[in-house]
Amino acid sequence: MPIPLCQPDLEYQEQSLKIADLDGDRSNEIISYYSTFIAPESYTPKNSNPYDNWELTSVVRVIRLESELPKLFMTEH
């Protein structure tokens, strides 16, 4: 039996970052996403079965620039 070959398509992740005003409040947010596989709890490199129930998951992150950027420039006195 051949080993299944299944990976998230990187073509869809090439442009996985966007800066936009999502809620119309005139402040921008950074939106990023990626997809990956999560191994089952029973997975170990020595005891791996290519037919285990791996889960494909997608992660979306939204960062509000107005609240996060000032933190980068704050200095402690």
Buried b (16+ CB within 10 A) or exposed e, 20-44: eeeeeeeebbeeeeeeeeeeeeeee
Domain ranges in the chain are 10-73
**What string of pLDDT tens digits covers the 77 residues of the chain?**
444 455 566 666 677 888 999 889 988 999 998 888 888 887 777 777 666 778 888 889 999 888 877 777 776 65
C-alpha 74: how far from its chain's center? 27
pTM for this model (two decimals): 0.56
Angle made by CA atoms 73, 74, 76, in degrees to the nearest 5:
140
Cα pseudo-dihedral 61, 58, 13, 10, rounded to 10 = 150
